[in-house]
Structure 1
């Protein structure tokens, strides 16, 4: 069997280095916090209604409690996380591993009543598998597809492990997921932001469905981006991509975050008042320039904008979920600042994408022009967020939605999950929000 298929079932909790074990807890906490924040969006409300009405079953929906099938519950959870663009990501993937992975592992693991340790090991395996699946796909297909495309194969890998599929069934699960996973066009959603987002929910649904089909005898092998790309898989178990994920301080596209950091740095260095700024020039890479929409009419468009969150940051010093909610999009001063932004594509920034996302901002006032240095987003793995910062982010998102007591219980359950059944955590996640 190819090395990645062996890795799916062979990796044990004891094989995983201690720093990787610690990091998976923080990544899960981050994803759960983002899901809590995303649950209040209209996108999440619609997809949860859809899952319970169209996917009959007995798995409760994340932060909802109504029943659906494992595939439907995974769809709803993936899109709920994706509804608030604040989850972790991986630069070489140009996307997000955890968003399609967690829903599949959570729903199938809950259904199978697995141990917390098995769940955690499956999640680590999924991050390692998903990182390489993404790199392999981006290197071998012509279009830039959303995370749901390779995320479907990643979800199937986690599900195959959790349901203890045979090696042959696992091959077919990956092949089914690759064939039916959403090869959705990322730049279409960048140019025309809507609720389809990064395809992660559909990827989770396709992955779970592929596992269930393969388990019943349905065939679909091979997954070409797994089996025909050996060069991308040779460092499995030696290089831990779990330690190379980034996290987001702001709930907007990663491509907008370097401009935010550069604008805030220039503003602070020169003591500039947002009301005095007349021009904002942002030099950055092509994909970020494509996010230029200064006047979003929905939270989805606000999250996939460079101009709008930069304008918010210059006013408020940060960008929060509340700042990019549907009801917060018509503030006159934010609109003025966003209209004052000029986007400039930079060859220097293009040359470093996707491993680095660079931006340099110049702010102009009546007193002159003030330029900054090239900036990168915060909380990249080269300058990572601390555990305290990620826990504070989790509570900032989860507490207003879940209530502090519930958020604390989830955090405590996750911290002790290695020695508990998964349901000690999942029973708290798969119930209605009741702060």
Structure 2
């Protein structure tokens, strides 16, 4: 079968031909700011318990010479990519391609960085690969139209593996057929199940890291000519047949308007450190409280309207969501988040601490929250939310956030993203470190002669 007759082949042909000069200015600038957000999140996660445990695990797997985002560690390329993905995604504060429900940068950036350093490439090559990884990851998720969640798969782990494979193959010097081959191989590694939602397990943090490492692995096998299934996407036992349990999918989403419609431009930066499905509710409640002047004690009942697919992640089962088992579980609980917003008047990383998790005032509000189906939701094109707040004085308040903040229709500005980066770095690093990292990321690809290794060193913690 000729490679370009398959979906993987067409994506491979596109990726092989893309040069830095082909990227619109808007794509380059957005990519730099998405990378700035991701690197800042890696830094503010680097000292967390999950990061310490991950570092312990990697010491059991061997040492290497690659720098790791936000850390002084040196690891083999695949492990550096995996640990970087864990850190970027660790707080669940990283970007999301809205329509695909994929945290794209968490696998795309670490995979591209590791592969670029390993291949001796420039920061310009790194930037191109990063953009391509986002493009492919987003399109793989977009084609499922929310179906991965419905069948219990985490789209970030599944779709991210394909984007990482394309980036690693491109940086490894593979041609169109080789980039197609990397996708064909990585299809057998694309994974990540949603069972973490049941008890707040840490496995979700592994998913983008595993996707990044799988991408590097698949590209290496493709480089030596290891055959993969040509119809990895569309085949009888391909990705969508096996992962969607018979649900419809859209093959055109993978290849339509390649090079003229860039999915990176519809990737949203998060304003809150919680599941993206909760953001509309946080904004609605904070806005109502600020405009109407009520306190948490004034709340009699809160009814939240949400699409059922999103509700399964952040509301079900509602009794348990009212008492999250740990901090990660709390990020997937709208009842908890409602309580945090109305008792603290904000939703920041400070609301996801052990003290906050045990706060009886937050629990009191969470106990008054329930949910219902929202027939007006735009999910998955936007993460719509509506709240009906009943107050003890008899008032009934309503607010709808039809399009979540951070969506392409309501994007965070570059100034907002830079401010978020500064706030995150201030938690863990001095001003000189923050400026070194900021300068390196926002000039990514500006000089064709700068090696990717220099960028990696600039974004690592000084040893």
Could you state the TM-score of these two structures normalised by the residue count of structure 2? Answer: 0.87
Residue 84 of structure 1 deviates from its aligned partner by 0.7
- The equivalent position to 2:391 in structure 1, one of 365, 368, 381, is 365
Instruction: Note the 1:25-424 alignment, pairs <5 A.
Output: 25-137=32-144, 143-146=151-154, 147-182=156-191, 184-186=192-194, 188-197=195-204, 199-222=207-230, 224-225=232-233, 231-232=252-253, 233-290=255-312, 291-292=314-315, 293-349=321-377, 352-375=378-401, 376-417=403-444, 418-419=446-447, 420-424=450-454
Instruction: Write the distance in 2 (CA, Å) between the matches of 1:215 and 1:402.
Output: 40
Unaligned runs of 5+ in 2: 239-249, 316-320
Checking the alignment, whether the CA contact within 8 Å between 2:15 and 2:176 is kept in structure 1 is no
Checking the alignment, whether the CA contact within 8 Å between 1:140 and 1:225 is kept in structure 2 is no
SS at match of 1:193: coil
SS at match of 2:93: coil
Q: Structure 2 vs 1, CA of residues 251 and 226 (structure 1 numbering), >3 Å: closer, same or farther?
A: farther
Which of 289-298 and 71-80 deviates more?
A: 289-298
Instruction: Write the distance in 2 (CA, Å) between the matches of 1:171 and 1:95.
Output: 21
Instruction: Write the distance in 1 (CA, Å) between the matches of 2:219 and 2:460.
Output: 21
SS at match of 1:92: coil
Which of 165-174 and 394-403 deviates more?
A: 165-174
Checking the alignment, whether the CA contact within 8 Å between 2:302 and 2:370 is kept in structure 1 is yes
Unaligned runs of 5+ in 1: none
Residue 230 of structure 1 deviates from its aligned partner by 5.4
Instruction: Write the distance in 2 (CA, Å) between the matches of 1:223 and 1:48.
Output: 37
Instruction: Write the distance in 2 (CA, Å) between the matches of 1:381 and 1:136.
Output: 19
Checking the alignment, whether the CA contact within 8 Å between 1:137 and 1:225 is kept in structure 2 is no
Question: What number of residue pairs does the alignment pair up?
Answer: 429
Tell me the alpha carbon deviations over residues 106-142 of structure 1, each in whole angstroms, 9 at most, x when there is no partner. 1111222321111111111222222212223558878
Tell me the alpha carbon deviations over residues 342-367 of structure 1, each in whole angstroms, 9 at most, x when there is no partner. 22222332xx2101212111223321
Checking the alignment, whether the CA contact within 8 Å between 2:296 and 2:342 is kept in structure 1 is yes
Which of 97-106 and 308-317 deviates more?
A: 308-317
Instruction: Write the distance in 1 (CA, Å) between the matches of 2:413 and 2:90.
Output: 25
**What residue number does 2:455 align with?**
425
Residue 251 of structure 1 deviates from its aligned partner by 0.6
SS at match of 2:376: helix
Instruction: Write the distance in 1 (CA, Å) between the matches of 2:174 and 2:216.
Output: 13
Checking the alignment, whether the CA contact within 8 Å between 1:296 and 1:329 is kept in structure 2 is yes
Q: CA RMSD in A?
A: 2.2
Tell me the alpha carbon deviations over residues 281-308 of structure 1, each in whole angstroms, 9 at most, x when there is no partner. 2122223433131222322101121111
Instruction: Write the distance in 2 (CA, Å) between the matches of 1:403 and 1:235.
Output: 44
SS at match of 2:428: helix
Could you state the TM-score of these two structures normalised by the residue count of structure 1? Answer: 0.92
SS at match of 2:71: coil
**What residue number does 2:246 align with?**
none
